Structure formats: C-alpha cells, structure tokens
C-alpha cells in the first residue's frame, strides 16, 4: 500500500480505522488533531498516535503534505471550518480525495465541498452509518460525490466496505442525518424517561411496564448503553443533532424533536459522570448526582 494518508482529527473514528487497517507501513499515515496544540493534552495525543505507529503532525498543513487520501473525522460543528482551513493552507495535493466523515447536514457538506474543490482536491461526502466499535474499518459507510467511485476503490484497498449511494454531495449525509433522528432521539427519550423515573423512585415500575409493552427490547441493557453513549459522546452527538435539525428544517418540516435531542445530549455530557460498569441504575444515579 503506497497511498499517503492524512487523518484530520484523531479521535474514536480515526483510531478505529487505523487499528482496523493494521497496515505494514503505518508511518505512511500522518495525523493532526487540535489537541496536539493544547499543552494539557498534547502528550496524551502524541502517545496515542505513536502507539498506532502513525506520524503526528504539529499543524494541519504538515499533516496534509503529499496526502492522497484525507480523512476528516472531527466534530460536526468544525467540519466546514476544517475544510476551509485546509484549502487556505495551500497544502492540499491536487487531485487528493477529501473524505468528510463528519455527521453534518447536506448544506454544511456542500459548503465544505466548495472550499475543497476550489483548492484542486476532490470532496467526498462520507457517512459512517454505525458506531465504529467493534467493527472498526468494517463499519458500514456510504459515499456520494462526483468522485465517489474512485473513493470507493481507495477505501476497498484498505479493506473497507463502502457503498456508493449517489454522485451529489449530500446524498450520503441526508441518509445519515435522518437515521440520527431516530437513533439519537431514542437516546434522549431514554435519558428523559429513565432519569425522571429514577428521581421519582418509580424506575422499576416504569421498566417493568416497558418490558411488558415491548418485550423484544432489553430496556435495562439498552438504557445503560444509551446513557453511557451520551455521557461519553454527548457533546459530539449534540453537534450532530443540530446538523440534523438543519437538515429537517431544510426539508420544510419541524425540527423540534431533533433540537430537543441536542439539548438532552448536551445536558448529559455536561455532567462528566463516570459511566462505571454496565449497571443502568448506577449510571442513572451518577448522572443525577451531577445534574
């Protein structure tokens, strides 16, 4: 594998991909994360990058230098800004594929695409359709753009399994955004229902009623998982849901539920509660203690 890869953002998705690829020459991957510029976090980020054998870059331009594939895996609220910064840096290789895997509204991705294509690279709307763990690089991915087929070939060479869903930027992200109405919305419903029930002292009765009504759902397990996801990733999920609300509003519909979901994601994430073990009641108590 001779392709030079740049990772913009080196969080959960980026590390999952790199560890899944298990390349013989991981030094061909250069990574830049904004945490590398923060005195309190740069050492930990450098250790994470070194642990996977990738080359850490001190800034965006050095990460982009000579990269054929650029994976932008940051947060939804910074995706367009990152694309514009990359274009302005002058370091994007002509013809490089910019794979925007951030959970953004189609409008946001089209804004980012203008910057990338203006710099002579090719913008790819990439939607990551499920949690990256445990599947890592085998997580379902949808691609859309004029060069989506070329991007699919490049990802397949890394052992990934992308699906091309359209030739227009936004074709993939629309699917991702509307799926998130349900997935992240269920998390918010679980939080509001279970936290309220626990505070009222009726959680056992509420759970029993849910189990009787919907026996196919393991409510205790689902609830514990959803609370853990919100505690650990709620800030990122809130940013995504604001993009979801933008998508729904752009379709001429009310985004009220998506806006409320973003609010709940922010609330739970802001507690910085310890997810602890897999026990639902323990997780609810730790979150409630910080509300």
Q: What CATH code is carried by the domain that includes residue 41?
A: 3.40.50.720
Residues 157 and 194 in one domain: no
Number of structural domains in the chain: 2
pLDDT interval class at 2 (50, 70, 90): low
Q: Distance between CA atoms of 165 and 142, rounded to whole angstroms?
A: 6
Q: Is the pLDDT of residue 200 over 60?
A: yes
Q: Distance between CA atoms of 158 and 20, rounded to whole angstroms?
A: 9
| Pairing status of strand 122-128 against strand 141-144 | antiparallel
Residues 17 and 148 in one domain: yes
Q: Distance between CA atoms of 105 and 174, rounded to whole angstroms?
A: 7
Residues 282 and 265 in one domain: yes
> Which residues lie below 8 Å from residue 15, measured CB to CB, with a gap of 6+?
48, 52
Residues 190 and 112 in one domain: no
Residues 30 and 105 in one domain: yes
pLDDT interval class at 22 (50, 70, 90): confident
Taken in order 84, 89, 90, 91, the sign of the CA dihedral is negative
Residues 159 and 250 in one domain: no
Residues 161 and 182 in one domain: no
Residues 18 and 108 in one domain: yes
Domain with 125, as residue range(s), is 5-169
Q: Is the pLDDT of residue 88 over 70?
A: yes
H helical segments located in the chain: 12-21, 42-51, 60-64, 79-89, 106-118, 148-156, 171-200, 203-213, 219-250, 256-270, 280-288
* Residue 75 CA neighbour count, 13 Å, CB half: 14
Residues 20 and 131 in one domain: yes
Whole-Å CA distances, 215 to 218, 251, 267 = 7, 35, 29
pLDDT interval class at 75 (50, 70, 90): very high
Give me the pLDDT at residue 27, please.
80
Backbone angles phi, psi at 12, to 5 degrees: -60, -50
Q: Measuring CA to CA, which residue among 240, 227, 215 is closest to residue 79? A: 240
Residue the block writes with tokens 């302005």: 88
Q: Distance between CA atoms of 244 and 177, rounded to whole angstroms?
A: 5
Which conformational region is residue 131 in: left (phi greater than 0), alpha (psi within -120 to 50 degrees), or beta? Answer: beta
Question: pLDDT tens digits for 269-283?
Answer: 999 999 998 899 999
């Amino acid at each position: 594998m001779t392709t030079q890869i740049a990772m913009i953002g080196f969080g959960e998705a980026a590390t999952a991909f790199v560890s899944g690829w298990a390349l013989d020459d991981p030094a061909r991957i250069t990574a830049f994360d904004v945490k590398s510029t923060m005195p309190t976090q740069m050492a930990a980020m450098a250790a994470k990058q070194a642990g996977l054998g990738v080359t850490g870059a001190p800034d965006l331009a050095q990460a982009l230098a000579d990269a054929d594939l650029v994976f932008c895996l940051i947060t939804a609220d910074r995706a367009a800004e990152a694309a514009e910064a990359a274009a302005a840096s002058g370091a994007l290789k002509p013809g490089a594929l910019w794979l925007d895997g951030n959970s953004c509204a189609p409008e946001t991705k089209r804004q980012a695409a203008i910057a990338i294509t203006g710099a002579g690279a090719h913008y790819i709307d990439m939607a990551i359709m499920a949690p990256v763990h445990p599947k890592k690089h085998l997580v379902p991915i949808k691609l859309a753009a004029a060069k989506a087929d070329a991007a699919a070939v490049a990802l397949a060479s890394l052992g990934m399994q992308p699906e091309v869903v359209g030739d227009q930027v936004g074709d993939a992200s629309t699917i991702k955004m509307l799926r998130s109405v349900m997935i992240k919305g269920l998390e918010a419903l679980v939080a509001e229902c279970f936290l309220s029930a626990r505070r009222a002292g009726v959680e056992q009765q509420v759970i029993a009623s849910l189990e009787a009504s919907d026996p196919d759902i393991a409510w205790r397990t689902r609830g514990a998982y959803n609370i853990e996801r919100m505690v650990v990733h709620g800030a990122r999920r809130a940013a995504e849901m604001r993009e979801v609300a933008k998508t729904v509003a752009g379709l001429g519909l009310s985004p009220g539920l998506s806006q409320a979901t973003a609010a709940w994601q922010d609330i739970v994430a802001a507690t910085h509660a310890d997810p602890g073990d897999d026990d639902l009641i323990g997780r609810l108590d730790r979150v409630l203690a910080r509300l």
